[in-house]
Amino acid sequence: MEEFVLNGEKLLPNVVDKSFGDLEKDYEVNINHVNHVKVLVNQLVEQINLNDLNQIKSEDILHLNLGERVYNIGQYIDEESSSQHTFYLLSNRTIEGLSHKDRLKVALIASYKNKNSFKQYVKPFLEWFTADELKKLRFLGILLKFANSLNASKREVVKRIELKINDDDLILQLNCIEDATVEEIESEKHKKQLEKLFNKSIYFYFEKHISE
């Protein structure tokens, strides 16, 4: 251990980061996609907090970003049952640096498909979580799933997100550098879930710009 310390500076790797790096390698995660969606989901979090639509704390953001790194990794095993495999892999694999409860939180966020599957996955662990914690985990799962839809084509065309409130309407302005037809189609699939979350009608505006 002493050999990893130079002039008082610890050179040991971040244990959690290394654990997730191993998962990314083992399940051939698209790192470019992950990094881009991480930017998008953090923009969403910033806009949500700015408009007081929900209180997303630093701990939530940590779980959300970890969830993004392993989002839907179960597709490596089977595309059709990717959500189920994602939850099983993450909830049963030892992840150094995370408690079992935190690992379950990440598993529930990264595997989120719909309300029914969420309830099925968490059922054996209900005594571990409060009602508020479960509500927040569902919120984060839906948010992450939506953020991934904004890079559905894997071309990183959506660059900036701005959220505005107009009475009972929520307007999401998405600035793009190229055509985002695929992202428009995929994002519409999550519209109803988002409207239930925020109790507002939601409108997406994909605006194309020549440059960022």
pLDDT in tens, 66-76: 999 999 999 88
94 pLDDT band, cuts 50/70/90, is confident
167 within a domain of the structure (yes/no) = no
- Are 168 and 162 a contacting pair, CB within 8 Å? no
CA distance 145 to 113: 8
The answer as to whether 115 is a domain residue is: yes
Domain span at 52:
16-156
Is 166 contained in some domain? no
**From the centroid of its chain, how far is CA 137?**
11
92 falls within a domain: yes
Question: What CATH number corresponds to the domain at position 78?
Answer: 1.10.3210.10
Strands 169-176 vs 158-166: parallel, antiparallel or unpaired: antiparallel
pLDDT at 191 (0 to 100): 93
Is residue 61 assigned to a domain? Answer: yes
The two tokens of residue 1 are 């251990």
Containing 169, the helix (H) or strand (E) segment is strand 169-176
Number of domains in the chain: 1
Q: Per the domain annotation, does 26 fall within a domain?
A: yes
56 in any annotated domain: yes
